[in-house]
Amino acid sequence: MKTKMLWVGTSKNPKTGNIPQGYVGQTRDIAKKSCEGCPLLDTACYHWKGSSQMGHGAMTRGHAKNPKKYLLKNALNNSVRSANYVRGAVGGDPSAIGRETVQSFHDDIKEFGLKGLILYTHFADGKGSHLKGLAMASCGLTEADTHVNDGWRAAAVLPMKMEGVKKFKDVPVWDGRAFTTPEGRKVVICPAQTKRGVDCNNCGLCVAPRDVVEVIGFLQH
């Protein structure tokens, strides 16, 4: 069965802002399969270990009754006027979707008048390699140089966590330090994690086709 992205027009996620969101997989099994091979899947995945999977589950049940409801076109038409960007693959990995289809997502979003699609894959050097230039390579800091040298922009997990995070007990709280990759590339920490009033909707650094900073770092959260 061909893997689909299910889309909704609005979100209450304070990290992204109220923007359209996509979830990979029209069933739970398809969604979980798209993530197979990710080292975070059964340990620290924010989706499968968090509450966003509940919303995804409701969407899969709704899709079984009315598939057209979860098309990107409907999500865009139902978005709020303040939306600037779209967040794809909140749950699941977009590596399960072909490049032509993902390119069409980017094209349709721009044609609608929004600024771009924010998308990440954990499999830049494997089953997600066909998404180079369309998605960010989600990786560890030590892997970022390899992906950038291969033509990706990287979204790197940093070895420190945000203040107030109770998970990751062995990970130190960020002390304000700057980060660089092993090869010396500057890492820009996600502005939503370091500045008040910033979310994905008023940032957009993680739109992969943009010619901006090569490596964006994420404090563990």
Which comes out higher in pLDDT, residue 209 or 39? Answer: 209
116: amino acid identity, one letter = G
pLDDT of residue 44 exceeding 80, the answer is: no
Band (pLDDT 50/70/90 cuts) for residue 39 is low
Percent of the chain with pLDDT strictly greater than 70: 92
- Domain residue limits at 164: 5-220
pLDDT of residue 60: 82
Give the model confidence (pLDDT) of 3-32 as tens digits: 999 999 999 999 999 999 999 998 888 888
Question: What pLDDT does residue 45 have?
Answer: 63
Sequence-distant (≥ 6) Cβ neighbours of residue 145 within 8 angstroms: 181, 182, 183, 185
In 149-197, the DSSP E strands lie at 154-161, 179-180, 186-189
Phi, psi of 157 (to 5 degrees): -75, 130
The model carries a pTM of: 0.93
Domain count, the chain: 1
Tell me the mean pLDDT in the region 52-78.
86
**pLDDT tens figures, 162-192:** 888 887 888 899 999 999 999 999 999 999 9
Contacts of 195 (CB under 8 A, 6+ apart): none
